[in-house]
Amino acid sequence: MVDLRAPWSIGPVEIPTRLVLAPMAGVSVQAFRRQGRRFGAGLVCSEMVSSAGIEHRNERTLGYLRVASDEHPLAIQLFGSDPVAMTESARMIEAVGADLVDLNFGCPVRKVTKTGAGATLLDDPDHAARIVAAIADAVEIPVTVKLRRGMRNGSRDCLTLGPRLVEAGAASLTLHPRSAQQMYTGVADHALTAELASLVDVPVVASGDIGDRATARSLLERTGATAVMVGRAAQGNPWALEEIVDGVEREPSREEIVAELVLFLREAGRELGERRASGFLKKFYGWYLGAGRFPRQFRQELVVLDSTDEVERRLLAAAPGAIPLVERLEAEIPPGDAVTLELPISVYGGG
């Protein structure tokens, strides 16, 4: 029987549980990652970061490189198609203190694929292998790759590309066995995960359609994968991570839900600034408060409020018992600005 609390490693990086919190665009901010570590994720990942944005010292892109001391082990995920820019970006990722540099060879979104990045690299194995080799030669931290089964439905390209990437220097592979054409529809074909795990001698992380402990354990047992990656199931529901790792299956109280959301509001506001955080957080209200937890009208009222302070007041008025829980959480967890490392001067181009 697979023990989801059993440690494992990618190269020299030790990971305390078999659960990886997925990199998700527009979701995986530092507040989300730090919360995921508290609830049992052994490894957390940043949302994908543009190598072109890093190369041009885009201020928002550089913001994705801020690392908190309590989110280790952390992978920062990189996308791009130019080996030189990707290599320089990987060096920066190493410099800011990330434990792993993860390469995105699976994103199916048009604005990424049209640049030759993301899932497009599944159709160009030579170029994909060159990128991995260049980065593996340039950094000391392990290089990992997240990929899909292939660009088109029914593709098995991951089974030929995966071993080539390992030969080029990839220390671990994560497979989401849907095609880029499928996007997020249909079912993840984890028979491919089992085949890939049998072909390579590095850890394989299984991704796709994993939302509970029974599925996670079954998948690890039947595929030979080393760990599972959870994404959408954890959106507004960190308790799903706790259930997967420890088997603690329970519906959180209204007070617990509000307390975690209020803490998330505060951390996101610190990280992103009020203006960005106000828009970023709107989708989280439905994720946290939906599924019958709070009335739909209440959620809709929060979305139209002008500030996160107003949202917090409404939440605490609806569940005043959450106030001592928030106070306890803030006493136990250091604030993000106290644990977030400053970016090295060289990242800003100052020398």
Which of the 8 DSSP states describes residue 26?
T
Q: Is pLDDT of 250 > 90?
A: no
Q: What is the pLDDT of residue 289?
A: 97
pLDDT average, residue stretch 141-154: 96
Residue by residue, DSSP assigns 117-157 as -GGGGGG-HHHHHHHHHHHHHH-SS-EEEEEEEESSTT--T
**End-to-end CA, the chain:** 52
- State the Cα–Cα distance between residues 93 and 343, nearest whole angstrom: 10
- State the Cα–Cα distance between residues 95 and 80, nearest whole angstrom: 19
Q: Is pLDDT of 342 > 80?
A: no
Q: What is the pLDDT of residue 334?
A: 86
Q: What is the pLDDT of residue 56?
A: 82
- State the Cα–Cα distance between residues 30 and 183, nearest whole angstrom: 25
Three-class DSSP category at 173: strand
- Where b means 16+ CB within 10 Å and e means fewer, 50-66 reads bbbbbbeeeeebbbbbb
Is 305 exposed, middle or buried (CB count within 10 Å of its CB: 0-12, 13-18, 19+)?
middle
Query: Percentage of the chain surpassing pLDDT 90?
Result: 85
- Contact call for residues 189 and 177 (beta carbons, < 8 A): yes
pLDDT average, residue stretch 195-208: 98
Q: What is the pLDDT of residue 218?
A: 96
Q: What is the pLDDT of residue 348?
A: 62
Q: What is the pLDDT of residue 340?
A: 85
Q: What is the pLDDT of residue 304?
A: 95
Q: What is the pLDDT of residue 2?
A: 86
Q: Is 107 a catalytic residue?
A: yes
Q: What is the pLDDT of residue 345?
A: 62
Q: Is pLDDT of 338 > 90?
A: no
Q: Which of 10, 9, 93 is nearest to 48 (CA)?
A: 93
pLDDT average, residue stretch 245-250: 90
pLDDT tier for residue 249 given thresholds of 50, 70 and 90: confident
> Could you tell me whether strands 13-15 and 8-10 are parallel, antiparallel, or unpaired per DSSP bridges?
antiparallel
Which of the 8 DSSP states describes residue 259?
H
Q: 273-296, pLDDT tens digit by residue?
A: 999 999 999 999 999 999 899 999
- State the Cα–Cα distance between residues 17 and 26, nearest whole angstrom: 25
- The residues with which 204 forms a beta bridge, in sequence order, are 173
Model confidence, pTM: 0.95
- Contact call for residues 122 and 157 (beta carbons, < 8 A): yes
Q: What is the pLDDT of residue 79?
A: 96
Q: 93-139, pLDDT tens digit by residue?
A: 999 999 999 999 999 998 999 999 999 999 999 999 999 999 999 99
Which of the 8 DSSP states describes residue 230?
E
- The residues with which 9 forms a beta bridge, in sequence order, are 14
Q: 67-89, pLDDT tens digit by residue?
A: 999 999 999 999 999 999 999 99
**Active-site residue, selected from the candidate residues 27, 62, 75, 107:** 107
Q: Is pLDDT of 346 > 80?
A: no
Q: 27-81, pLDDT tens digit by residue?
A: 999 999 999 999 999 999 999 999 989 888 888 888 889 899 999 999 999 999 9
Q: What is the pLDDT of residue 351?
A: 43
Q: How far is CA 97 from CA 23, 239, 293, 350, in A?
A: 17, 28, 38, 18
Q: Is pLDDT of 242 > 90?
A: yes
- State the Cα–Cα distance between residues 332 and 227, nearest whole angstrom: 29
- For the chain, what is the mean pLDDT? 94
